[in-house]
Structure formats: structure tokens, C-alpha cells
């Protein structure tokens, strides 16, 4: 039996969603509707993530500003903006900042914040999907059976992630990507909007896949590929 963290009803595990309230049932998720959470960042993407959090029935208490001290104390997108080290101490936070996810999470952890997983209610997760701490799954994303979304990864709007995939920690799957089954996406990887990664391919740690790319073969760690079919980016000589 598994207990739904959202409504407390007990049911047979393995269906992916609570039959009583519809919340995702996640083996190790910190997701829990009704909890108070902050969103890190105070720009337009933070507003988007705050909207996702609201849809997941989290109570968004404010935005955590990490870069521009002049915003602290103001109200943005209807939320109070607090600093990295608020008087009240940290709390639960989801990341609403672009760029280097690992660096942002390191700063939040140092500021005393705890990572909260966020799964948009319109996403579809197969059973036996594992969602790590601080991972974010956006609206209309679809995640297949037996897939692991590691800690602090983001699966954005409308991303399609196949079965038995591993999405590494701190990685970003941008809107509309299509990741085939049995694929491995390394840690800190970035897959641009609409890119397709064929089944069974391994994308190395820190690799960058350009928007719209068609990735047919493994991508070495740290490498940037783009285009159809995807190939290494080479600077043109002036």
C-alpha cells in the first residue's frame, strides 16, 4: 500500500496517480500539495514556475532573489521578493532560474533552503517513475515507465521522455524535446527546445544539444552538437 501525500488516502502502489485526488504518487517525491514553497528567482521564468507550483496546489509564499539586491522587499508578479538568507531562515524552494542549475542549487543549499520536487498536475507520469528532490516537471510533459528523473533536473513544458530513461542531476530538458526510450542524459546536460534524441543514445554530462537538433549518436561529455542530423559545433574562422 502507498499513502497519497496530497490527500492521505491509502491505495495499491503502482498506478502513478492517486485515484482519490489525482495527485501523482511518487516513490521518493517531496511533492505534497498544500505545502508552502518559495520559488528561486524573480524574473519571468520564476513567474512561470510559480504558476506551475500554484497549479500543483503548493502555496507560493514568495520569490527568492539571488542576483539583484534592489528587488528584495519589492513585489513582483504578485509575490513578495525575499533575499537568499531571509530572517525567518530558509524553507522549501523550487528553482525558477535559467542558466547553471547546479550553481543555483548550491547557493540555495548554502542559504539554508530545502529542495522541493514540483510535478505539474497536467503532466503524465507512468508508474515506476522516480523523481528526485528539487526536480521540476512542467505542464503536459509525459514521462514513460521505469524512468528516473534525478535530483534538481527540469523537464519543461510538453517534453516527451521515453521509458527506462535516466535524466541526470541538474539537467535541463527544454520545451518540446523528444527523448527516446532507454536513453541516458548525463548530469548538467542541456537539451534545447524541440530536439529529438533517438532511443538508446547516451548524452554525456554537461553536453549541450541545440534547439531542434536530431541526435542519432552518443554525445561526448561537455560536447555541443546541433543541426539535423546533429553534429559538433565548430567555430567558423573569421
Ligand X SMILES: CC(C)(COP(=O)(O)OP(=O)(O)OC[C@H]1O[C@@H](n2cnc3c(N)ncnc32)[C@H](O)[C@@H]1OP(=O)(O)O)[C@@H](O)C(=O)NCCC(=O)NCCS
Q: Which residues bind ligand X (CB under 6 A)?
A: 174-175, 192-193, 208, 210-212, 226-227, 233, 236
Contact 119, 139 (CB under 8 A): no
227 vs 229 by CB, closer to ligand X? 227
CA–CA separation, 43 vs 49, rounded Å?
A: 10
As measured in angstroms, the least distance from the Cβ of 173 to ligand X is 10
Closest CA to 129 of 147, 103, 109: 147
34 vs 232 by CB, closer to ligand X? 232
Residue nearest ligand X, Cβ-based:
210
CA–CA separation, 153 vs 79, rounded Å?
A: 24
89 vs 238 by CB, closer to ligand X? 238
CA–CA separation, 36 vs 236, rounded Å?
A: 50
State phi, psi for 234 to the nearest 5 degrees. -125, 130
As measured in angstroms, the least distance from the Cβ of 225 to ligand X is 9
82 vs 189 by CB, closer to ligand X? 189
As measured in angstroms, the least distance from the Cβ of 226 to ligand X is 4
Residues facing 114 on adjacent strands: 92
Amino acid at each position: 500500500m502507498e499513502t497519497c501525500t496530497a490527500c492521505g488516502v491509502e491505495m495499491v502502489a503502482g498506478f502513478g496517480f492517486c485515484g482519490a485526488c489525482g495527485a501523482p504518487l511518487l516513490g521518493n517525491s517531496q511533492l505534497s500539495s498544500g505545502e508552502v514553497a518559495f520559488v528561486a528567482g524573480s524574473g519571468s521564468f520564476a513567474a512561470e514556475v510559480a504558476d506551475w507550483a500554484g497549479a500543483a496546489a503548493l502555496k507560493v509564499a514568495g520569490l527568492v532573489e539571488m542576483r539583484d539586491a534592489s528587488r528584495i522587499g519589492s513585489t513582483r508578479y504578485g509575490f513578495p521578493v525575499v533575499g537568499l538568507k531571509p530572517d525567518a531562515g530558509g524553507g522549501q524552494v523550487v528553482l525558477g532560474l535559467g542558466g547553471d542549475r547546479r550553481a543555483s542549487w548550491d547557493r540555495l543549499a548554502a542559504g539554508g533552503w530545502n529542495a522541493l520536487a514540483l510535478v505539474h498536475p497536467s503532466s503524465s507520469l507512468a508508474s515506476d517513475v522516480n523523481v528526485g528532490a528539487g526536480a521540476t516537471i512542467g505542464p503536459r510533459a509525459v514521462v514513460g515507465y521505469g524512468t528516473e528523473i534525478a535530483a534538481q533536473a527540469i523537464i519543461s513544458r510538453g517534453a516527451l521522455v521515453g521509458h527506462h530513461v535516466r535524466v541526470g542531476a541538474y539537467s535541463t530538458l527544454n520545451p518540446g524535446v523528444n527523448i527516446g526510450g532507454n536513453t541516458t542524459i548525463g548530469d548538467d546536460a542541456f537539451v534545447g527546445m524541440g530536439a529529438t534524441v533517438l532511443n538508446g543514445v547516451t548524452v554525456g554530462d554537461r553536453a549541450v544539444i541545440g534547439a531542434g537538433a536530431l541526435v542519432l549518436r552518443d554525445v561526448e561529455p561537455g560536447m555541443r552538437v546541433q543541426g539535423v542530423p546533429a553534429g559538433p559545433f565548430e567555430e567558423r574562422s573569421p
